[in-house]
Chain A
Amino acid sequence: MLFIILLVVVAIFAPVLASLIGHGPNELFNRTMLDDFGLPLGPNSEFWFGADASGRDVLVRMIYGTRVSLAVGLLATLFAVGLGVALGLVAGYLGGIVDTVLSRIAEIILSLPILLFAIGIVTACGASKEGCARGAIKPGLMLVVLISAFFTWPWMFRIVRGVVLQLREREFVDAARAIGAGPTSIMFREILPNLISPIIVYASLMIPQAVLFEAYLSFLGLGVPDTTPSWGRMIADGSQIYDVAWWLMLFPGIILLLTVLAFNLLGDGLRDALDPKSDR
């Protein structure tokens, strides 16, 4: 938890931290930080985590990378949760044909190989600056967020739908109906508050997945553009020369691992705290 707060602070104050260190994220130090063969130099007192193949400061880029990872993790989860909860409520409460159609769509999306389609969409949309679908979708951060959200909302949908199916038979829903509440009001005022704890628990477990997803895409060179520092992209850069410049992949990997681990621990903790059934 403390680590997550720290990450958020680092992300917000990235430019301040960078100016304290005195290096920009895309500033090249090829005079001082590249050796005679053009290979980057390792950690020293001025560049704590060394430099990358273009002579950029790894530490500063990692600080900026926090922004990308957190933005993708939080935004993608926000969209996926919003969509999943809204559709799950509707499907679970209304039932019938609406439920059948939505459940089938969710099932289809879940049975598609995510990474494979993500690669397809990103290459299709990222091939030119104009993006795809007549410029409606531009390559970059938002595209990663949208793809991640599109493929993960069915998880939330299934959980919400399952709980709603049980809740709608309960007395308080009958009572609301008896005093003349409409379906929208019942769904959002009566049922939704009862869903808060599963939503929080699963949302907190979806954040690390989205963070990892961005890292995977960036690692494959498909995520955010090269000028935006991203941990996945930095590890990919490091993978070219990992045997001579180990610091390039090591430090971004450690921070990525710690971030995902922190969110996973938070999610597990929330589940133990909020879910009465989980006695683990």
Chain B
Amino acid sequence: MGRYIIRRLLWTVFIVLLASILTFLIFFVLPAGDPALRFAGKQPTEELIAQARVNLGLDKSLPQQYWLFLSRLIGGDEYGWPGLGYSFHTRDAVLPELIDRSRVTGSIIVGGALMWMVIGVPVGVISALKRKTFWDRGLMGICLFFISAPVFWLALLSLLIFWKHLGWLPGTGYVPFAQNPGQWFAHLILPWCILALLYAAIYARLVRANMIDVVSEDYIRTAWAKGLSPRKVVMHHELRPALAPIIALFAIDLGALVGGTIVTETVFNMQGLGNWLLIAANNNDLPVTMAVTVVVAAAVCILTLIADVLLAIIDPRVRLQ
């Protein structure tokens, strides 16, 4: 187990490095818009631009620039650890803003994830138990609807209905929890629901499919033959193996959502990581883009690792090699 975790951690580091190199390459080939030009002020002279280029490290070659990024990341810089430099666009340090924005994105993701698990798993279980009945078909039909609906459109529609027409909600934007917990909740409830509906639908379908696979296994027949109560068979013998793969998927989705909230944050006007990335990409703001990419890639890999280890603990059939 220990050896497995170490190997997976090394793999994580490799993936994060790879993601950062890819990001670097993508934005290096970007032709338009010289960041140094913007940095040189309103009336740029040749010297000022050259000076800005030196300050930003843009005079160095591509490998040298990447090496600089990497050594800062590992060694830290004047803004703390990990060193992420400062934005080419706003000239603010990346790290403090990254932490601020992580709170926003984190609030959206954690709440949404809780909701989709609480909705998705029971719906899947009910569908599987009442297979081929009215309930099953109805629930699965609703699931297919939410899987097919574009998230940004549902978000706009819900804003139109619950904010503009009914006036139940205070509107878009984000209010920090520490400032006003009630407002924090009121602003987040709609993003949570929108995220939760899509994923709850996906998970309900998966849980149902897994449950149906498990039910036909021999050991389930054995469990019934032993005379166990239906409750015990369902909870212990059917649900546990059916949920195991869901946990693995949950971790991956949770990590991927950090990038996936771009759309949600855009519609609900929240200053999170996804929204930041979109702005940074449009402004050719390399340090910010790199920071978000690295954080997201690391989150995906680490959560996947945790899921794999959890999976091995829950499901004895899975052996870590």
Contact = CB atoms under 8 A, between A and B. Distances in A.
Interface residues of A, number: 44
B263 interface: yes
A18 interface: no
A45 interface: no
Contact of A127 (B19, B33, B150): B33
B300 A111 contact: yes
A120 B289 CA distance: 8
A158 to B, nearest CB: 14
B150 A260 contact: yes
A242 B301 CA distance: 38
A116 B277 contact: yes
Contacts of B18: 108
B191 interface: no
B5 interface: no
Interface string B86-104: 0000000000000000000
Given A119-B281, A220-B278, A212 B32 contact: no
A208 to B, nearest CB: 7
Given A112-B19, A113-B258, A115-B260, A124 B27 contact: yes
Of B147, B150, B212, B263, most buried by chain A (CB within 10 Å of CB) is: B150
B296 A250 contact: no
Given A116-B292, A124-B30, A238-B156, A260 B148 contact: yes
Interface in A253-280: 253, 256-257, 260-261, 264-265, 268, 279-280
Given A260-B148, A261-B145, A242 B160 contact: yes
Interface in A94-141: 108, 111-117, 119-121, 123-124, 127-128, 130, 132-133
Interface in B206-260: 209, 212, 255-256, 258-260
A264 B31 contact: no
Contacts of B300: 111, 113
A112 B22 contact: yes
B282 A113 contact: no
B204 to A, nearest CB: 13
B26 interface: yes
- Chain B: interface size category: 35 or more
A232 to B, nearest CB: 8
Contacts of A239: 152, 156, 267
Interface string B290-321: 00110011001100100000000000000000
A210 B103 CA distance: 31
A219 interface: yes
A243 interface: yes
B217 to A, nearest CB: 14
B259 A113 contact: yes
A246 interface: yes
Contacts of A256: 150, 153
Contacts of A265: 144
A235 interface: yes
B12 to A, nearest CB: 9
B157 interface: yes
Contacts of B29: 124, 132-133
Given A111-B15, A117-B23, A124-B26, 13 more contacts: A108-B15, A113-B293, A116-B293, A117-B26, A119-B278, A120-B23, A120-B26, A123-B282, A127-B33, A232-B150, A256-B150, A257-B148, A264-B144
7 contacts: A133-B29, A219-B150, A220-B278, A232-B150, A235-B150, A250-B157, A279-B212
| Closest 8 pairs (CB-CB, A-B) | A113-B259, A253-B153, A116-B259, A261-B148, A260-B148, A127-B32, A124-B30, A123-B281
Interface of B: 15, 18-19, 22-23, 26-27, 29-33, 144-145, 147-150, 152-153, 156-157, 159-160, 164, 209, 212, 255-256, 258-260, 262-263, 266-267, 277-278, 281-282, 284, 289, 292-293, 296-297, 300-301, 304
Interface of A: 108, 111-117, 119-121, 123-124, 127-128, 130, 132-133, 208, 212, 215-216, 219-220, 232, 235-236, 238-239, 242-243, 246, 249-250, 253, 256-257, 260-261, 264-265, 268, 279-280
